[in-house]
Amino acid sequence: MNDEFESRVRDIKSRAHGHWTSILKALGVDEAILNGKNQPCPLPGCGGTDRFQYTDKFGEGNYHCRTCGAGGGLKLAQGVLGMRFGELLEAVERQLGAARPVAAHAVNGPSPERMKRLCQRIWNEAKPITMGDEVDRYLRNRGIALTTYPRSLRFHPDLGYYEKLNGQQRAKKIAEYPAMIACVQGHDGHAITLHRTYLAAGRKALGEQSKKVLSSGINGAAVRLDEPSDELAVTEGIETGLAVRLSTGKQVWSALNCGNMEKLWIPASIKRVCIYADNDANAEFAGQASAYVLAQRLLREAKRDGIDRRVQVFVPKHAGADWADIWLARFANEAKAA
């Protein structure tokens, strides 16, 4: 897609955020598909009989199919309605109102070239993590005590935190915080964006808002905490990945979130993949579901390509726990017994 068309798609997704259920109904998608219940997948060629669920979990018309994978409102509408993509965009724009007559990237953020320069600048401003800095303090408070850190992680002493307030077109810097910076690498090993964890006094500075990817669309990329040999462990969070690394000695990649875990690219050279899922029994089992979607895809790809590969999924016993929580509890018990 050219820049103008990409800008148009981003504009549509931005304005449609949080409104996909009503948009899909207005476009003609059967309400039964959108009822949030497990049901046969409505997408052509899938064949799943009881593995599809529309969730709109992230406000993007999200659905999840344990046979053909996950997607959002545009993909769902195109598959169900059989429309060409250009026709679909026009139909969605009619529901949203006329497309905004703005230049490419004016509303939707900087161009890819400018974003690349921004990532490079932030990475250069950051330094390798050292004992006693804010990232080291934060991780040690999570029970993750390391003497050396992965090269994919860095410490930024005062990274700007931006928010877009109601009625504003541009995000505004509201504060600066120390931050853990993580390099997100695509399948070719090149950096595509950065992940930021804002910190204060050895803790996350802003609760759930403390973690942010600098740009969207990581699409199967990962934070490579290690360079794998023939075995790889996969987690959602970076802290979870470091905890698994400490507890098992395995090389680890972090997918950052469950939606990206499903898309994660794994090299064909990896013969054993261990997926350490979050136990999201209190949140629609999203962590477990994504882990098993990835496992199923990896096994299917291995069978298709004639690869000798073993895949395992590990889930904490307790609802709401991830492997970082398990490691922290173990660390605390060992400290108490010492």
pLDDT, tens digit only, all 338 positions of the chain: 456 677 788 888 888 888 899 999 989 999 999 999 999 999 988 877 777 999 988 888 999 888 888 889 999 999 999 988 888 988 888 888 743 433 334 334 566 778 889 999 999 999 999 999 999 999 999 999 999 999 999 999 999 998 877 667 677 889 999 999 999 999 888 899 999 999 999 999 998 889 999 876 788 999 999 998 899 999 999 999 999 999 999 999 999 998 899 999 999 999 999 999 999 988 789 899 999 999 999 999 999 889 999 999 999 999 999 999 999 998 888 877 86
Q: Where are the beta strands (DSSP E) in 164-321?
A: 172-185, 191-200, 203-204, 211-213, 223-224, 231-235, 252-254, 272-276, 310-314
Helix axes 85-96, 20-27, angle to 10 degrees: 120
Q: What is the pLDDT of residue 218?
A: 85
320: alpha, beta or left? (left if phi > 0; alpha if psi -120 to 50): left
243: alpha, beta or left? (left if phi > 0; alpha if psi -120 to 50): alpha
**Model's pTM, two decimal places?**
0.69
**Own/partner pairs, 39-43, CB within 8 angstroms, 24+ separation:** 41/65, 41/67, 41/68, 42/79, 42/80, 43/68, 43/76, 43/79, 43/80
> DSSP letters along 105-124, please?
TTTT-S-HHHHHHHHHHHHH
Element (H, E) at 155: strand 153-163
Closest listed residue to residue 112, CA positions, set 122, 101, 104 = 104
